[in-house]
Amino acid sequence: MVMVKYEVVEHDGGWAYKVGGALSETFPTHDAALKAANRAAARQTVAGNTDGIVYQDQNGRWHEELADGHDRPATRVVDGG
């Protein structure tokens, strides 16, 4: 099973959560970023609809895939603050 890690980090004069190389918006407090990370991690585990997705990878290439709405990852929030 895939594990998605949400890490709370200092960012741009405030706090954010990071997943892979992507950062969330900046929150004014560590607590606000931690709560947002927990909410996002919880949403990630909820089953949804099987649907087509389009995304851009870190090299700028676009991909199209069919995403199984029941194949959800495990998540973990890491408090880096």
* Range 24-48 average pLDDT: 94
Q: Would strands 14-19 and 3-11 be described as parallel, antiparallel, or unpaired?
A: antiparallel
**Token pair 């909410």: residue:** 39
Amino acid 69: pLDDT:
80
pLDDT band of residue 70 (cuts 50, 70, 90) is confident
Q: State mean pLDDT over 37-54.
A: 90
Q: What is the mean pLDDT of the chain?
A: 92
Distance of alpha carbon 32 from alpha carbon 66, whole angstroms: 34
